[in-house]
Structure 1
Amino acid sequence: MRRYGPAVLLMLVGAAVLRIALFSDLYLRYVQGGLRPYLVASGALLGLLGLVRAALTARAARCGTDAADHGAHLVAEGHDHLHSHEGSPRVAWLLVLPAAALLLFPPPALGSYSAARDEARRAAESVGTFPALPAGDPVDLSVSQFGSRAVYDSGYSLRGRTVRLTGFVTPGDGGAWYVTRLRVACCAADATTSKVEIRGPDAPETDTWVTVTGTWRPRGELGYPSAWPPVLHATTVVRIAEPSDPYEER
């Protein structure tokens, strides 16, 4: 069965990619939605290569020829005293662990642990005017949109408006808590944090997903660290299920 190892490995990795990208929305925990076709194509190609490799190995076995050993022998003849007879590098078997993890125990989306370590990476933005908000309250905003307007909008477009934010709970000092979202440009590896301090209701459990409705409370001077993080005085906090796409786009 050892000769079928490379084929099994290719099919296992392909199945893991297809499991998160084709048969579920789990891929959204790791990459942007626009990359789904490439993931599906990659998973299908790996699975196909595994089937082809298995078929070639089976045919070689029926013919009484071990194709992998024969190929290694030819290489050895052209390179002094190289006598490797492995069908594939042993290190390739390390791929079994992440592939099996994706199939059986997909890692969760990034949460409060990552958010707490990302504040120093927030990009500098300039104070200025922002487009008017849509009519009608409450107005739905992403956490990053609310933060940008609260900290940098010289037109104070949030003043007097009721807004609705969705994110996960992260704890702060002295009983403070935040509604937080992670923003990605390509994948989870480049995630940055946006968060809003919530005043009023008690904090739900850390990493709980919530939708918070409330009004903006100005703090500090626009564009300065004293204005960060922005504050929302909450009137309602509703617990929700984690969305299929947990990240905001940058």
Structure 2
Amino acid sequence: MSRYGGPVLLCLVGAAALRITLFGDLYLRYVQASLRPYLITSGIALILLGLTTAALRSRTTDDHDHDHHNHGPRIAWLLTLPALALLFFPPPALGSYSAEREAAQRAEQGVGAFPALPAGNPVSLTLAEFSSRAVYDSGRSLTGRTVRMTGFVTSGSDGGTWYLTRLMVTCCAADATTSKVEIRGEDAPLTDTWVTVTGTWHPKGRLGSDAAWPPVLDAKSAHAVRQPSDPYETP
């Protein structure tokens, strides 16, 4: 790599980190909001390190010695491509492909009573909240309630079933897990379309069993919406 290859790469990575954190909500596709200050700090540190390294190398007086010892393979410049891609073409949030990679097998959790839902209909719930109550709530708190949830569309293996899906992250996109609810009574939108669905719980299976998963919602309405700035649910 040429004399300034390393510093340029550091600056590109730092600029990419700042681009997704300082000028919008793109960073929420990859990490939780609480990690934003660390991304900003890292981006600034990388740029300063790159500029400092470039300044030090520009003072090198023995060019022959520098070329002899530090000139690496030109193919190393390919390392700049991922940084440029993140800087100018940030990848989208995880979608249906990531959701479908996770197996539907889930360890059985303890069945028990959940706190009462807020008054009024419809009540807005995350997919994780709805799924937990539908599968494990011995008090059947969803009975008779109209709920509203937002997620993206994934398709079942039979081609006719569709699910409202959301990914949950604890720290970053790498640890994402899937919550999904089977939607009945409405035609399936295109895969990966974000929709808000309103409807009522359709009980199935024994509480806490595999037969109760995934939970089912009898939809009263479903309409397309824009992807939220934070596409992931948090615990």
TM-score in terms of structure 1 length = 0.87
Contact 2:108 2:209 in 1 (8 A): no
Residues 1:240 and 2:225 aligned together = yes
Q: CA deviation at 1:24?
A: 2.0
The aligned counterpart of 2:52 is 52
Counterpart in 1 of 2:27? 27
Which residue does the alignment assign to 1:76? none
Pairing 1:166–2:163 present: no
Question: Which structure has the larger Rg over C-alpha atoms?
Answer: 1
Aligned to 2:212: 227
1:98–1:237 CA distance, 2 compared to 1 (3 A): same
Aligned partner letter, 1:109: A
Shift, 1:119, TM fit:
2.8
Write out per-residue CA displacement over residues 100-155 of structure 1, whole angstroms, 9 at most, x where no aligned residue: 11012111111111111213464432110000000011000000100000010000
2:62 matched residue in structure 1: 65
Counterpart of 1:213 (choices 198, 214, 222) is 198
Query: Percent sequence identity over matched residues?
Result: 69
Whichever residue aligns with residue 228 of structure 1, its letter is W
- Cα distance between partner residues in 2 of 1:205 and 1:169: 7
Q: Aligned letter for 1:65?
A: D
Query: Is the Cα–Cα contact under 8 Å of residues 12 and 96 in structure 1 kept in the other structure?
Result: yes
Using the alignment, how far apart are the partners of 1:39 and 1:87 within structure 2? 31
Q: Which of 92, 95, 101 is 1:117 aligned to?
A: 101
Contact 2:117 2:141 in 1 (8 A): yes
Residues 46 and 167 from structure 1, CA distance in 2 versus in 1: closer, same or farther, beyond 3 angstroms? same
- The 2-side partners of 1:127 and 1:47 are apart by 51
TM-score of the superposed pair, with normalisation by structure 2? 0.92
RMSD: 2.1
Is the 1:142–1:166 contact (alpha carbons within 8 Å) kept by the matching residues of 2?
yes
Give the superposition deviation at 1:57. Answer: 2.4
- Secondary structure of 1:119's match? coil
**Residues 160-213 of structure 1, C-alpha deviation per residue, up to 9 Å, x if partnerless?**
000000000001125111100011111111111100000101000000000000
Q: What are the superposed Cα offsets for residues 203-228 of structure 1, whole Å, 9 maximum, x if unpaired?
A: 00000000000111101111111111
* Unmatched tracts of structure 1, length 5 or more: 73-83
Partner Cα distance (2:15, 2:133) in 1: 44
Number of aligned residue pairs: give it. 234
Q: Report if aligned partners of 1:122, 1:192 keep a CA contact under 8 Å in 2.
A: no
